[in-house]
Amino acid sequence: MAFEQAPLPYDPGALEPHGMSAKTFEFHYGKHHAAYVANLNNLVKDTELADKSLEEVIKISAKDPAKAGIFNNAAQAWNHTFFWNSMKPNGGGAPTGDLAAKIDSDLGGFDKLKESFKTAAATQFGSGWAWLVLDNGALKVIKTPNAEDPIPLNQVPLLTLDVWEHAYYIDYQNKRPDFIQNFLDQLVNWDFAAANLAAA
């Protein structure tokens, strides 16, 4: 059973008015994400991992240095699908309901969450990700290098931002902080994060 690239949850041009161009999606979704899925299928073909779920492949390969190539492509395939859902047209704003209350109790409020998230995303050296996760029942902001994600850490990811250069270079050149700010102001999908919290 081959892994398939999940469709985007919106049209490739839907985020253009909000700071992420269709040209970025042409490369980021159409080439980078697609390549991770294709590479993963080639790597696991005719192996014991071919019939596992993507999450299972990530957990198994994360523990085995000999499977680093499988892990990198599996995690990146999963991370990107999660990232697309972490954004929406007319996103931004502030979370509400249970998520907002938990941000207040665990992280000291929405403004502190935003500052922690901006810091994590801006200070991830080189390629990687910033995440809002649930860790042993508490919200945390973390960053991970390269393809790494919260799944092998037994954390529940609620939201992510891709800070690999290919995520922002077409629209923002080298201005990663502007990309991060725009994500929080106009793109972030708090409904997705709230649904992930409710399902945890």
Beta strands, E only, the chain: 128-135, 138-145, 156-162
Is 18 annotated as ligand-binding? no
Q: Is 33 annotated as a binding residue?
A: no
101, containing H or E segment: helix 97-107
Ligand-binding annotation for 166, yes or no, is yes
Rounded CA separation 157/173 (Å)? 28
32 is in an annotated binding site: no
Long-range contacts of 66-71 (CB under 8 A, 24+ apart): 69/39, 69/43, 70/40, 70/43, 70/44, 71/147
Binding residues for Mn(2+), by number, are 28, 80, 162, 166
